[in-house]
């Protein structure tokens, strides 16, 4: 006799996420390059997030290696070339993060928008999704592969391409404020914001193109403090941390 078994509820939190990390997350405050201790901390936080049962992809910046925008602004290097140099910096960071993850037993793959086949796989949408389904962290490097695009743009693009449930924007503050909380003691933190509100207020979260892309694809953005231990895993679980732009949080456990 076949029994009617109760339907299983989906796990709480987000099923597939894109985590946007700055290059500076891999070095000490006001530092440069890659600090081994900071690398292991970030790798540990990402590995712990995978254990929550979600699929985790990472877009990493390159500002700790080189700031192409600064070079271009100083007039020393054409902006297109400076941006390409910055994209190569993200490859260095992605390789470091992969090694940090795998040293903890968490499989990871680096997929690049730039042709660097001797050190990373090319970005192919289906391949990225397959890696995620196999429990590997996918690290997207090389930006979008084009100059004049920020790594925020790469994060929103990849989130749309892999059908991510949310874009996690890891920052140095615990959410989005109406003004700089470091300079204004009366700054107010938002718990939620619509995309239109965030754009109208000109809040310094992501570039306008990234907001527009997430709004078009209905991908919420969760802005949170990456330095608080356990916060990346908490974000994947859908806990009420930081500020959600564009949509409500998913149901949490409990």
What does the pLDDT look like over 100-129, one tens digit per residue?
999 999 999 999 999 999 999 999 999 999
Of the candidates 172, 170, 140, the residue with the CA atom closest to the CA atom of residue 157:
140
Report whether 209 belongs to an annotated binding site.
no
Report whether 168 belongs to an annotated binding site.
no
Report whether 83 belongs to an annotated binding site.
yes
Task: Note the pLDDT of residue 249.
Answer: 52
Report whether 148 belongs to an annotated binding site.
yes
Report whether 180 belongs to an annotated binding site.
yes
Report whether 171 belongs to an annotated binding site.
yes
Residue 160 pLDDT grade (very low, low, confident, very high; cuts 50, 70, 90): very high
Report whether 214 belongs to an annotated binding site.
no
Report whether 14 belongs to an annotated binding site.
no
Is the pLDDT score of 80 beyond 70?
yes
Is the pLDDT score of 8 beyond 80?
no
Please state, in angstroms and rounded to a whole number, the distance separating the CA atoms of residues 116 and 112: 7
Residues 6+ apart with CB under 8 A from 107: 101, 134, 135, 136, 137
Within 10 A of 23 (CB to CB), how many other CB atoms are there? 23
Report whether 31 belongs to an annotated binding site.
no
Report whether 218 belongs to an annotated binding site.
no
- Cα 137–chain centre separation: 12
Please state, in angstroms and rounded to a whole number, the distance separating the CA atoms of residues 197 and 55: 29
Please state, in angstroms and rounded to a whole number, the distance separating the CA atoms of residues 201 and 71: 29
Report whether 144 belongs to an annotated binding site.
yes
Report whether 39 belongs to an annotated binding site.
no
Give me the residue spans of the domains in the chain.
Answer: 16-245
Is the pLDDT score of 7 beyond 60?
no
Task: Note the pLDDT of residue 200.
Answer: 84
Report whether 12 belongs to an annotated binding site.
no
For domain 16-245, the CATH class is alpha beta
């Amino acid at each position: 006799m076949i029994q009617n078994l109760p339907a299983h509820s989906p796990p709480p939190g987000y099923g597939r996420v894109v985590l946007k990390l700055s290059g500076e997350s891999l070095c000490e405050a006001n530092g440069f390059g890659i600090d081994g201790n900071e690398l292991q901390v970030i790798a540990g936080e990402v590995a712990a997030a995978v254990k929550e049962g979600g699929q985790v992809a990472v877009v990493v910046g390159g500002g700790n290696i080189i700031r192409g925008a600064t070079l271009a602004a100083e007039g020393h290097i054409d902006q297109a070339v400076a941006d390409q140099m910055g994209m190569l910096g993200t490859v260095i960071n992605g390789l470091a993060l992969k090694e940090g993850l795998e040293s903890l037993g968490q499989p990871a793959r680096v997929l690049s928008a730039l042709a660097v086949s001797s050190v990373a796989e090319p970005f192919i949408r289906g391949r990225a999704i397959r890696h995620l389904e196999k429990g590997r962290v996918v690290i997207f490097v090389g930006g979008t592969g084009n100059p004049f695009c920020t790594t925020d743009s790469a994060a929103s693009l990849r989130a749309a391409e892999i059908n991510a449930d949310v874009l996690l924007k890891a920052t140095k503050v615990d959410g989005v404020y109406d003004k700089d909380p470091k300079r204004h003691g009366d700054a107010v933190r938002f718990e939620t914001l619509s995309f239109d509100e965030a754009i109208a207020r000109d809040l310094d979260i992501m570039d306008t193109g990234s907001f527009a892309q997430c709004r078009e694809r209905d991908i919420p953005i969760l802005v949170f403090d990456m330095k608080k231990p356990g916060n990346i895993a908490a974000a994947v679980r859908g806990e009420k941390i930081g500020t959600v732009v564009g949509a409500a949080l998913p149901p949490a456990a409990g």
